[in-house]
A and B are shown apart, each in its own frame.
Chain A
């Protein structure tokens, strides 16, 4: 049986798609057969981040509507044999996603894959609800700012009451915090919330901190998930996240300001 991971946030533009691509690649690179699904119908961009946009023939909705089978729609990643992408439709209307349809596709994928990563659209409407409904684990992507934290909290509330696990009275979805676009200098300057501030409000298990990084833009421009840029800070941070998710213990990094560190080192003020 596959483990279904939803990457969610409530707020848009916080790094869900970046994260979905990175962790799906990370899991697959460790030999786990993984599929990443784009739930953002109408605004698809997972295929761009994964660099497979020119190979999209059929999409998630085609499969739900029975116009294509899964094997026709799944795209094998060019870097990693164990990774597949199920793209969203650019043109179709959002109502094409149905609970029954999503369930059918996830069930079929479960037979074959170890991990199913669901890249959620923003908001708390139907698309976001369907992306999280069948999840076992939730990666809650949050930026260190008040509105993002508040939206994450709201999403957590919805997962706690409107997911399949909640409705069937099963063990709740495992929730993990991913604090992304973290800029220690701006935290120190008081322009962003600190890790402690965020944790005081959300109190979630912290899976990792992803620093604000130029490597993310470079990665998306070249269509390779940032985790493959092993020298970059964001790439390493995502590799840590995958390792921690799989049970390894790794100390958290990228929390402290480099300037602050140098200041401490040289005893300056």
Chain B
């Protein structure tokens, strides 16, 4: 009898299924030309190889199907894998494309296409979660340093009073304010808000991005460190301006 109870105990501690939210970049396609897709993808990746290396990715075919542009999902998945990315979902596919995806074990993501997506409630993701205080519905305040390996994702604005280390990643669907040194990656407007801005006291970032357009530390070399700046988007170009 005692053996029986021991067994039950063991079974209980074998596994657990928990629900969790995480952040994955979405590849939105506007052309079905695989050659052009490969070229552009290579270009994007070469600008931020660390950011994309082994990154999971969901591809979104909503625009293509909207325009009746056909694409072979099996070939597309092969191409994405060749780029060193891990396709983990299809979004906006038609019946045939979804079937194709199923046959090669790519899950179907039924959330709406990115353009139509409704902002989610504040979530912070990844293996290390940073303690956060929700100021109101729209902003999240972080007072502790964001260290290397930590990631933050919020649906509204993100306000950080401490430093953001190299190797840390902060993401907001809205604006990002860092009242300290920004050394990690900062991505504002991650759901496509091109009006989002990044503000920081000392820009030494590895990568900054607004609504998917980004610059890496390579491109930032000539900008002045140790001066408060704002970063915004103008005609798909990131503008970095000193705050006076």
Contact = CB atoms under 8 A, between A and B. Distances in A.
Contact of B167 (A154, A161, A166, A200): A154
A166 B131 contact: yes
Contacts of B149: 154, 157-158
B43 interface: no
Nearest to A169: B131
Interface string A58-81: 000000000000000000000000
B148 A157 contact: yes
A161 B166 CA distance: 17
B97 interface: no
Interface in A130-166: 150, 153-154, 156-158, 160-162, 166
Contacts of B167: 150, 153-154
B165 A153 contact: yes
Contacts of A201: 165-166, 183
A161 B130 contact: yes
B135 interface: no
Contacts of A101: none
Contact of B166 (A150, A156, A158, A172): A150
Q: Which of A153, A157, A160 has the most CB of B within 10 A?
A: A157
A128 to B, nearest CB: 13
B154 to A, nearest CB: 15
Contacts of B129: 161
Interface string B145-169: 1111110000000000001011110
Nearest to A150: B148
How many interface residues does chain B have, given as a range? 10 to 19
B242 to A, nearest CB: 21
Contacts of A166: 131
Interface residues of A, number: 15
Contacts of A162: 128
B111 interface: no
A158 B146 CA distance: 10
Contacts of B150: 157, 160-161
Contacts of B163: 203
A149 to B, nearest CB: 10
A162 B130 CA distance: 10
A141 to B, nearest CB: 16
Contacts of A157: 128, 146-150, 165, 168
A161 B132 CA distance: 11
Interface in A220-255: none
Contacts of B144: 160, 172
Nearest to B13: A100
Contacts of B166: 150, 153, 201
B238 to A, nearest CB: 25
B48 to A, nearest CB: 19
A48 B149 CA distance: 34
Interface in B73-118: none
B55 to A, nearest CB: 19
A200 B204 CA distance: 12
A207 to B, nearest CB: 18
Interface string A191-218: 0000000001101000000000000000
A32 B145 CA distance: 33
Contacts of A172: 144
Contacts of B148: 150, 153-154, 157
Contacts of B168: 157
Contact of B147 (A154, A169, A200): A154
Nearest to A158: B128
A156 B147 contact: yes
Interface string B182-199: 010000000000000000
22 contacts: A150-B148, A150-B166, A153-B147, A153-B165, A153-B166, A153-B167, A154-B149, A154-B167, A156-B145, A157-B146, A157-B148, A157-B149, A158-B128, A158-B149, A160-B145, A160-B150, A161-B129, A162-B128, A172-B144, A200-B181, A201-B183, A203-B163
Given A150-B166, A157-B165, A158-B147, 12 more contacts: A153-B165, A153-B167, A154-B167, A157-B146, A157-B150, A157-B168, A158-B149, A160-B128, A160-B131, A161-B130, A161-B131, A200-B181
Interface of A: 150, 153-154, 156-158, 160-162, 166, 169, 172, 200-201, 203
Q: Which 3 A-B pairs have the closest CB atoms?
A: A157-B147, A161-B128, A153-B148
